[in-house]
Structure 1
């Protein structure tokens, strides 16, 4: 077998951040940022509006730099990590394991969407905004049945387009699903090479991983300042009334994420027979780091290390499940997208038919698979979900304002989902794939 150094060995770059209680620094940054933002808001009369907007632009700077740095290394980090898992798993069980993992991710994503749909239809968070006048509308009309039929009829084309005809285009445009499929094909091809031929490729990939982790550690240093600036800029630009008015919507999303977390714990207990409370205790470090950074890609090394050392998962499992899961297993993001889509339909006073809800479900499953594992990735893809359902995207600017706060919660849930998958698949494949 070709030897490949696991990504979790590079987690030393992030250990210091965890020991320094990064999550606590983030909470402090949130609170201080909220206070400064309220003081800077023109409605208080303390700071003139033009000065407030100028200060807000500067306060946004650390967050923008952090996001750019994570985006910069996301594709090479995921590329080399998926290859790690494939090169380490050359047994005959890999094909069955990979297919079952895909079906498992689709299953959990579907559960997340069902939770989101039911909660939003029952609690109706958008009704409050609609009664206040709703979001601004540019005149976009809801999607008509013929358009729905066309979308469903295009499913075969969508499936065939999963394989990128131009991998470089997928990389340059950040189309993550195309990058993942291309990487899996390349990884399988590497396993067919003679060890002496594959060795330079593997050593180059190891060097790329190390470089990416150094850049990630630099970006992490900005996180508390990025969160402080985000909250300050958000509350300085947004009226307190509007922000509080969106509180009910935020509460619905967080309740949905808690229900999804409970579903994971039930899976852990029912399938692996492990104590779910001990499971939560074991994964607290990647959860807190995910909450702090709002990027599941940046937390991959800690997630792998936790799966191996705290959960006892075979490294052959974690090396494959974690990077693939960080890219296509976005259950928390899928729930967020579903709640937000129906919330905005309610805010615009649009009645969604059963067909429209089914269309939203299909679109959210597809969109969550292609969501970038970066801060704000969920909102980047959300526009396509809204357009497919015929819902005006004008109000999306309001969601973007509060997305980072919700992103911290849903990323922690996404990481929990990946670690749950590791534990479940280790039970069935841990010894089978552990081929030396």
Structure 2
């Protein structure tokens, strides 16, 4: 319970930092949407915004629409957040079932996952060429000025990741007594591997080794918290999604009110928790968040070219969040055990 509460709280803080920076810096204002060749999309988004964005009174209805009434329809319409919620409920049902009865479905889903990953790999091989063509045409038509907004967007995300890393270091210092110098000295190899692989899952064995070695976390804590964190603790990913959603909304001139910002926080936290620890998945989950607030998902093409660099950077923050969670929860558990032993000793005497 403490671990999940820690992950959800830090993820919410991360996406809030991202949204605040995007609203303050406004990187989308540096991009002229009319020169992107997506005029019809811009007009449509403007019309949707004028028709009324997400209002506070609409928020309960919007939250209710996240619950899938027809899972097959959600899949056909590419409503990914509804698919994630249905998949979570379906997964819990499989867990509580008898293993022998659930095994055929698990085998089928494993095969489907491999098929989907293979298709995604093909798409990712083609994506750099497609993005290069898009940016080359855009630069030729509008000049280098068109790239300024993307650079400001990258700077905003990196600044947000640095701030979130600072928050994690402060939490580790205050609640576990681990200084930033000690933490960086212990975690430098993990951070380097995370930056190079862009996968929390790939770093997991080294994260466990680092937690149990230099950071002194007990084995039963590290081997529970880090695998769990690699699945649901996506601080960097949530921050990136918050910045990207606001950036694309600014590019297309979609005004997002207070209710829309709350919805972005909720969907970012939920989607980051449900996203797998594999490279490039953040850009896929982002489309869910954009659709939830009425922002054209086609704007993702603007940030595809720089996503790999940001993916590497946000993975570093993700794994650092796992390690900080380890040292904090280990400290709390140790203090609780000492208090219990003291109480039992006093009662015994």
* Same fold at TM > 0.5: yes
Per-residue deviation, 1:152: 2.7
Per-residue deviation, 1:401: 2.2
Q: List alignment gaps of at least 5 residues for structure 1.
A: 1-98, 165-172, 194-226
Matched, 1:282 2:189: no
Question: Structure 2 vs 1, CA of residues 179 and 322 (structure 1 numbering), >3 Å: closer, same or farther?
Answer: farther
2:231 match = 327
2:135 match = 238
Kept after mapping to 2: 8 A contact 1:330/1:414: yes
Per-residue CA distance 1:304-348 (angstroms, 9 max, x = gap):
111111111011111111111111110100000000001111111
Matched, 1:428 2:336: no
1:106 match = 8
Q: List alignment gaps of at least 5 residues for structure 2.
A: 72-79, 100-123, 338-349
Per-residue deviation, 1:158: 5.8
Per-residue deviation, 1:246: 0.9
Query: Which residue of 361, 372, 383 maps to 2:276?
Result: 372
Query: Which residue of 299, 304, 312 maps to 2:208?
Result: 304
Whole-Å separation in 2 of the counterparts to 1:248 and 1:104: 31
1:152 match = 60
Query: Which residue of 353, 357, 364 maps to 2:257?
Result: 353
Whole-Å separation in 2 of the counterparts to 1:126 and 1:385: 17
Question: Structure 2 vs 1, CA of residues 404 and 268 (structure 1 numbering), >3 Å: closer, same or farther?
Answer: same
Kept after mapping to 1: 8 A contact 2:204/2:227: yes
Per-residue deviation, 1:407: 0.2
1:344 match = 248
Question: Structure 2 vs 1, CA of residues 289 and 269 (structure 1 numbering), >3 Å: closer, same or farther?
Answer: same
Question: Structure 2 vs 1, CA of residues 186 and 302 (structure 1 numbering), >3 Å: closer, same or farther?
Answer: farther
The total of aligned residue pairs comes to 290
Per-residue deviation, 1:134: 6.0
1:363 match = 267
TM-score by length of 2: 0.72
Q: Secondary structure at the match of 1:298?
A: helix
TM-score by length of 1: 0.58
Whole-Å separation in 2 of the counterparts to 1:341 and 1:107: 20
User: What is the RMSD computed on CA atoms of the aligned residues?
Assistant: 3.6
2:27 match = 125
Per-residue deviation, 1:366: 1.0
Question: Structure 2 vs 1, CA of residues 380 and 430 (structure 1 numbering), >3 Å: closer, same or farther?
Answer: farther
Whole-Å separation in 1 of the counterparts to 2:189 and 2:84: 26
Question: Structure 2 vs 1, CA of residues 429 and 391 (structure 1 numbering), >3 Å: closer, same or farther?
Answer: same
Kept after mapping to 2: 8 A contact 1:326/1:415: yes
Per-residue CA distance 1:130-156 (angstroms, 9 max, x = gap):
377467252242484678756634647
Kept after mapping to 2: 8 A contact 1:314/1:430: no
Flag the structure with higher helix content: 2
